[in-house]
Amino acid sequence: MSQEIYDYWYPWHPARFKAKTMHLTPEQDGIYRRLIDFYMETKQPLPESHVALSRIVGCSVEIIEQNASSILEAFFEHKEGMYFHKTCNEILDDQDAHSRRRKRIASKAAKKRWSKVSENVEENASSMPEAMHKHATKQNKTKQNNVNKKTKAKKDTVQKPANVSDDTWKDFKKLRTAKKAPITQTVINIFDREAFKAGITLDQAMQISCMRGWTGFKAEWVLKDQNETDRTKQELWEWVNGQ
């Protein structure tokens, strides 16, 4: 199982879920499931903003407000302006521990392989004539320099985040290039943080940035547009109904 698949997979127990949620309506059940999926995908607690939560679920703010007490207060713990889920946190902690164990094992295996390679190189070099030894040393230095250059190039290049599609990443890089704005890890972190505040994914935040030609991204910009849209819908409804 690849690391990317593992990061977005989590155990699900239908019988346990059903036992704890039988009192919920089908609508509330769907809302709860989407909130849990977002929690596990982002590995972060939920924002307290009802506008952000409506974006996460894909419903209106009114629906979130109507069902907040039945879902948020019943299954989540509210503290420091966020909603925390005990079971989700336990699963995420277990996944992190498993990931760290895998990295330690891989690191030990890599060191062992390179240790054997180094021993073989030393044995072969010592058995060569002096001229061949110098030639081999020169080649090794050249290869090492190339490796160092490639390593530096990789470090200087920000890799596409796992939860961003290829098309979105391509458009995002094109926009940043046109704006002469380099893509750094700090930029990605800011986009990710603001996307979370707005209740959307990093991929969606980059899409919005590309569509509107934004070099940066702030949650308040998106939430402001959402509030204005909601007001427009309300005014239209009142006009149609003669209010």
81 near 91, Cβ under 8 Å?
no
pLDDT tens for each residue of 89-106: 888 888 878 778 877 787
71 near 32, Cβ under 8 Å?
yes
Sheet holding 77-79, edge to edge: 46-47, 82-84, 77-79
CA separation (Å) from 43 to 80, 93, 97, 140, 158?
17, 10, 14, 44, 21
pLDDT tens for each residue of 9-66: 778 788 888 888 999 999 999 999 999 999 988 888 999 899 999 999 999 999 999 9
The answer to whether the pTM exceeds 0.85 is: no
For residue 219, name the pLDDT band (cuts at 50, 70, 90). Answer: confident
155 near 197, Cβ under 8 Å?
no
Element (H, E) at 47: strand 46-47
Q: Give me the residue spans of the domains in the chain.
A: 1-126, 129-157, 166-240
